[in-house]
Amino acid sequence: MHKPHEPSAVREKPGRALLARARAAALLIATAFRADARRALLVLVLAPVVGGCGVVSGLAIRQATDAALRHDFGAALTAAVLLVAAVVTTYTAGALVSVLRIHLQQRVGLLLDRRLMELTGGIPTLTHHEHPDYLDRMELLRTHRGELGGAFGALVENLRALFGLGTTLALLVTVHPALLTLPLFALPTVFAAHRGSVLIGRAEGESAERERLRRALLELSCSPAAAREIRVYGLADELTRRHDALQDTVRRARDRADTRAAVWSGGGWLVFATGYLGGVLLSLIAVARGEGTPGDVVLTLVLGAQLLGSVSGLVALGSWLQHALRAAGHFLWLSDHAALPENSPARPGADPAPPPGPGAELVLDHVSFTYPGTRHPVLDDVCLRVPAGTVIALVGENGAGKTTLVKLLCRLYEPTSGTISYGGEDIATLDVGAWRGALTACFQDFQRFELTLRTAVGLGDLPRADVTDAVTGALARGGGAGLPGQLPHGLDTQLGPTFPGGVDLSTGQWQQTAMSRTTMRERPALLILDEPTASLDAASEHELFARYTAAARASRTPPVTVLVSHRFATVRAADLIVVLEGQGVREAGSHPELMARDGLYAELYRLGTRGNS
């Protein structure tokens, strides 16, 4: 199992890093072309042109200097016109490149955001949420998401700077071949910047898990849901202390990396400054010996300064590019992860069958399940046969595995061994989307969708989400018939305090929207009710479940209804009661059968109803 203080697997193997960067660059260029092919092409052509303009300016300055010293007015004027043209092109084309770059950056960022939603939402099970690697990558992606958008811009700017550097060097050679060695003095600067960026990236990777925990504490402290308990238990200071401790370790690790990166960078610049000084001396000596013109000295000074600008620009841009490519690399990791066979909605090689229609038998055949990353099975060798139309209640102490069984039925996890079949078909071989479309479920920790009441209920059956009769029918079945009348704009009331004019509901009212959402699908094969009514009183819960089960039983194609509840007044009405204990089924039968057996159920029942007798 992953230990909190182990270095994260986010760290890259050096051999693979180059390939990963190349893939990331290809992803950015391809996304830019998908976003806007014409502008992407224009910016990729214009960027080198702008980069090369600096050299034209240098040539014009040399020409103007020598012509002025010769008192050649015509040649000096031509050089001046060339200089102005080069400067104007640099600024106008440069401005155009910047505008295009920003436009494309935004489009690329939006496309990648959208893809990110597809990737995270498209993984059919919840298993990936158990992987520390996945969580760490997501944390890094969240932190550096902004850089993803800017990544294409980093590529363009590097292209411009690289072209500028190349042409500057080509011209320096014409002054003195030895000046070609000048870039060698720039190499330590580039290496130092790369080294610094690697150190910073490594520190970020290694502290990603602590940073994720820090952020979780921050979110917890700001969460309205946690606000009451934080105050009642006086947790604010403790949360802040834990947050600060994590922040300190993260900051220390990152500060250490920043300092080491700065030392590398300073050393690199010192080497370059020495080379530049040597280059200028060389051209001065050449003029003193009559081997060059004063224009050459001016050119060396101008190009040397330009080289300095190009190299420093390239170094800064290079580290921008490194960060951007690293962010794109996290994105690619996620993309690869989502493409793994176990994360694919369809099993490889299988042609998923549609699920059998409602009104069929549900069978659990030797089902075992262990949560990923853990050792002990939560369910072990569970066998159950549930005929069509049965209302089955799952009972057991906290942690007995009731919700886990429900998650397996919804295919949010796959059994570690054994099969679950419906109508004779192993549900693992069915199309996962179609299987989920055939069931409906209300969970203990249901979602409070901050939408209009109509949509919050209607999205229980998306194709009919806007059909008023369908929504009001679902509200009636789900115990929320009175809700529209209690809200200022009826079905069209915006729910939730986040939105302007949004109305917050009581816990019971939120529960009614969730229960109503569950009844939007009219002919489900499987109806799952996993303690969604915990905050209703026992009598209301009993009445609601009685209504649900009566409607289910009256259907011509009755679903299997799976009920999880700790309330025995509700449970006793089920056709089949399954008591889970010690990873398996301890007892199963109807209420009279189990009471006659006088086993665990009878004991729990007596305990659960003692207060009511």
Ligand X SMILES: Nc1ncnc2c1ncn2[C@@H]1O[C@H](COP(=O)(O)OP(=O)(O)OP(=O)(O)O)[C@@H](O)[C@H]1O
Parallel, antiparallel or unpaired: strands 576-581 and 584-589: antiparallel
Cβ proximity to ligand X: between 90 and 511 the closer is: 511
| Pairwise CA distance, residues 179 & 82, whole Å | 25
Cβ proximity to ligand X: between 7 and 399 the closer is: 399
Selected binder of ligand X within 135, 261, 378, 526 (CB under 6 A): 378
Cβ proximity to ligand X: between 128 and 477 the closer is: 128
Which residues in the 109-138 window bind ligand X by CB under 6 A?
130
Q: Which amino acid type is present at position 485?
A: G
**Cβ-contact 300, 279 below 8 angstroms:** yes
Which residues in the 394-423 window bind ligand X by CB under 6 A?
396, 398-404
CB of 231 to ligand X, least distance (A): 25
Of 145, 142, 148, 147, nearest to 212 by C-alpha is: 142
Q: Find the length of the chain.
A: 613
**Cβ-contact 47, 313 below 8 angstroms:** no
CB of 209 to ligand X, least distance (A): 17
368 forms beta bridges with: 417
x-or-dash string of contact with ligand X, 30-49, rule CB under 6 A:
--------------------
| Pairwise CA distance, residues 89 & 323, whole Å | 30
Of 152, 165, 167, nearest to 41 by C-alpha is: 152
Of 412, 417, 407, nearest to 381 by C-alpha is: 417
Cβ proximity to ligand X: between 413 and 510 the closer is: 413
CB of 572 to ligand X, least distance (A): 18
| Pairwise CA distance, residues 311 & 273, whole Å | 12
Of 165, 142, 179, nearest to 317 by C-alpha is: 165
Cβ proximity to ligand X: between 159 and 400 the closer is: 400
CB of 372 to ligand X, least distance (A): 7
Cβ proximity to ligand X: between 251 and 566 the closer is: 566
CB of 239 to ligand X, least distance (A): 23
Selected binder of ligand X within 305, 371, 503, 609 (CB under 6 A): 371
Of 484, 460, 463, 459, nearest to 472 by C-alpha is: 484
x-or-dash string of contact with ligand X, 74-113, rule CB under 6 A:
----------------------------------------
| Pairwise CA distance, residues 326 & 199, whole Å | 13
x-or-dash string of contact with ligand X, 560-589, rule CB under 6 A:
------------------------------
Q: Using CB under 6 A, which of the segments 229-237, 250-258, 294-302, 391-399 binds ligand X?
A: 391-399
CB of 444 to ligand X, least distance (A): 6
x-or-dash string of contact with ligand X, 327-366, rule CB under 6 A:
----------------------------------------
- Judged by CB under 6 A, the number of residues near ligand X is 12
Is residue 374 involved in binding ligand X (CB under 6 A)?
yes
CA 464 to chain centre: 30
3 state DSSP class of 463 = helix
List the structure tokens of 377: 């099975």
Query: 């190499």: which residue's tokens?
Result: 187
Cβ proximity to ligand X: between 522 and 581 the closer is: 581
- The alpha helices in 382-452, defined as continuous H runs, are 402-409, 432-437
Q: Using CB under 6 A, which of the segments 41-49, 201-209, 266-274, 392-400 binds ligand X?
A: 392-400
**Cβ-contact 515, 478 below 8 angstroms:** yes
Of 197, 198, 192, nearest to 271 by C-alpha is: 192
**Cβ-contact 108, 145 below 8 angstroms:** no
Cβ proximity to ligand X: between 297 and 379 the closer is: 379
Q: Using CB under 6 A, which of the segments 266-274, 316-324, 371-379, 466-474 binds ligand X?
A: 371-379
Cβ proximity to ligand X: between 126 and 239 the closer is: 126
Cβ proximity to ligand X: between 152 and 568 the closer is: 568
3 state DSSP class of 549 = helix
Which residues bind to ligand X, rule: CB under 6 A? 130, 371, 374, 378, 396, 398-404
